[in-house]
Structure 1
Amino acid sequence: MTKSSITRPVAMVTGGRQGLGLAAARALGAQGFDVAIVDLAAPDTVSEGILTGLAGLGATARYYRLDISELEGHQSLVDRVWADFGRLDCLHNNAGIAARPLTDVLDLGPEAFDRAMDINLRGTFFLSQTVAKSMLADVSRHTDGIYRSILIVSSIAAEMVSTNRSQYCITKAGVSMLSKVLAVRLGAEGIHVHEIRPGFIRSDMTASAGTTEIDDWLEQGRVPMPRWGKPEDVGTAVASLASGALPYSTGQPFWVAGGLNVMQAT
């Protein structure tokens, strides 16, 4: 990524208030990005603390409240970010919900299914569409040397089946395909699209479903790197991809899973 002494790229991070999103925002700030954090919660002392921490990394940061399932708010959000920062070079789609409570696929009701679809898939799809259009509309950015990208957090669940998290698996498989569709559509426009597949990352989300089963997998050697992942592991991947560290890659899933996806002979 080529940056002048006065130009910092700008990244929008959804779900950036905690967990993987916050780790990504911090990694991006350390990488030289200014950061627009988007989250469901209203601004408060927590968000103020996050912005102060990012400022300590040298980043200009702002906080915006949005439920990404509310599609009518997408355009105004993107317009505000452009107005506040003067540019938008990266969208990091991190916001999403887990399957709670865990429910057998044969017992899952339409309300839980639709809620997951609205946030994880539908909200991500249409926010990505809105940001992509805004990037394409700003012709001056095409030649300023700044790497432009859309990043999408899927999950190992995009490929690995869990029958009590069916709605989560289906939405993550959907955003995996979205990354490919966008990569093909936007490649010639100089916008890279990357899918990130976190594995067993220790966070509030994983803790809410219990961790005994995952601990057992680690003890049994089913993960080649036998430890829990950290949010910072994902943040490092996000910042690397957003900075253009892999300039001839697009539309591919990047596993941050300690080798979990590597098939092992019994």
Structure 2
Amino acid sequence: MSNKKLAIITGASRGIGNAISVRLAKEGYNIATLGNSTTEAAAPGLKKITDAGAEIIYVQGNLGEKDARDRLLEKALEAGNIDLLVNNASMGPRVRTDILEMSSESLDEVLNVNLVGTLLLTQAVANQMVKQVDAGQGYAPAIVNISSISAYTASVNRAEYCVAKAGVSMTTMLFAARLAEYDIPVFEIRPGIILTDMIAPVKEKYDKLIADGLTPIKRLGLPEDVANAVWVLVSGQLTYSTGQVLNIDGGFHIRRL
């Protein structure tokens, strides 16, 4: 790979992860990513990243599985230092079910990908970053977790997702506290209602809610809104910040009367 910075971004082939990857590619990063899709299925999204100037490492696998995480880390390290980790990949429950009927299987699946996989990948990458910091050479890595307004907003028909995202928020605080001595900042972005294929089937519902005042900014968010926020956090300007939460939600988090 060329001598550029390297970002690991999970779920980079589509949606928010793709927009983040394209933005970082334009800022001079190469990208290593992990996704469930076959290389062929992921190709259109990956092409957007390479068209933006990045070389790319694609590992097919499930974030919740140790083997997939290990393969991603191995491939990334073959390319050089890891300058940035963006934990973006996540899933919702396959079927939205009232919390009173939620199955343990659904809970296990969502937690394993969204929380356990994210936490353990962060642990593995953080250990590599610490080694690289100790080696010197002006290395300045960072970690960004993409959580959700669901970290603090109760949706009783997808409790699995809410609990997992709340856990990601705590994961941010834990690693921010632990890695501060190494000058490795850890940030959290909480997207609101973002126009991706996940909400496309219910876009009309959200359009009406927003028109009726759900958010002060009266539009759906775009993946590029989140991508721009990632760049703000990792651009090297926030040298006295860590553990910070940045809401990209059109003002949803504001309590109003």
User: What is the distance in 2 between the residues matched to 1:245 and 1:33?
Assistant: 17
Distance 1:141 1:214, change over 3 A: farther
Distance 1:243 1:109, change over 3 A: same
- Kindly indicate whether residue 82 of structure 2 is the aligned counterpart of residue 88 of structure 1: yes
The answer to whether the 8 Å contact 1:51/1:62 transfers is no
Deviations 1:182-210 (A, max 9, x none): 000001111111111000101111224x2
Of 246-255 and 48-57, more deviation after overlay is shown by 48-57
Structure 1 gaps of 5+ residues are 1-5
User: What is the distance in 1 between the residues matched to 2:123 and 2:44?
Assistant: 31
Pick one of 120, 136, 146 that aligns with 1:126: 120
SS of the residue aligned with 1:107? coil
Matched residues, percent identical? 35
Show the 5 A alignment for 1:158-197: 158-197=151-190
Show the 5 A alignment for 1:1-266: 7-44=3-40, 46-83=41-78, 85-139=79-133, 142-144=136-138, 146-208=139-201, 210-265=202-257
RMSD, aligned CA: 1.8
User: What is the distance in 2 between the residues matched to 1:180 and 1:133?
Assistant: 17
Letter in 1 for 2:21: A
The answer to whether the 8 Å contact 1:25/1:37 transfers is no
Distance 1:69 1:226, change over 3 A: same
SS of the residue aligned with 1:229? coil
The answer to whether the 8 Å contact 2:12/2:46 transfers is no
SS of the residue aligned with 2:199? helix
SS of the residue aligned with 1:79? helix
Letter in 2 for 1:15: G
Letter in 2 for 1:234: V
User: What is the distance in 2 between the residues matched to 1:140 and 1:147?
Assistant: 11
User: TM-score by structure 1 length?
Assistant: 0.90
**RCO comparison, higher one (Cα < 8 Å, 6+):** 1
Distance 1:58 1:141, change over 3 A: farther
SS of the residue aligned with 2:238? coil
How many residues align? The count is: 256
Letter in 2 for 1:95: A
